[in-house]
């Protein structure tokens, strides 16, 4: 899947200062790019698969040491944002 420019929110940027956390976040991003939606509920995974065909936004959710991480790719596939749920 095309994901465009990758951006981190301030919360993710702080977490990513830890090199090991940054590596895990990048692993999550590559899984997202491969259309693996992580910890999303099954109905949301199905909705993402449909969104790919319709050209709308897709989202994945991941656990990083007890912190939930979201990755959202916009419908136009020009930008992907990695964020904490409270930053949405």
Predicted pLDDT of residue 56:
97
pLDDT at 85: 98
- Could you tell me the mean pLDDT of each successive run of 10 residues in the chain, 88 residues long? 97 97 98 98 96 96 97 97 97
In DSSP terms, 3 is beta-bridged to none
d(CA 82, CA 70): 6
pLDDT score for 13? 97
Give the global pTM: 0.96
The DSSP letter of residue 13 is H
Question: Domain coordinates of the chain in residue numbers?
Answer: 5-87
Q: Is the dihedral of CA 43, 76, 52, 84 positive or negative?
A: negative
According to the model, what pLDDT value does residue 17 have? 96
């Amino acid at each position: 899947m095309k994901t465009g420019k990758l951006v981190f929110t301030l919360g993710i940027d702080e977490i990513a200062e830890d090199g090991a956390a940054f590596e895990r976040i990048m692993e999550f991003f590559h899984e997202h790019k491969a259309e693996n939606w992580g910890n999303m509920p099954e109905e949301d995974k199905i909705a993402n698969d449909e969104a790919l065909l319709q050209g709308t936004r897709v989202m994945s959710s991941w656990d990083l040491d007890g912190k939930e991480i979201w990755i959202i790719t916009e419908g136009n596939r020009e930008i992907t944002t990695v964020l904490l749920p409270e930053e949405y």
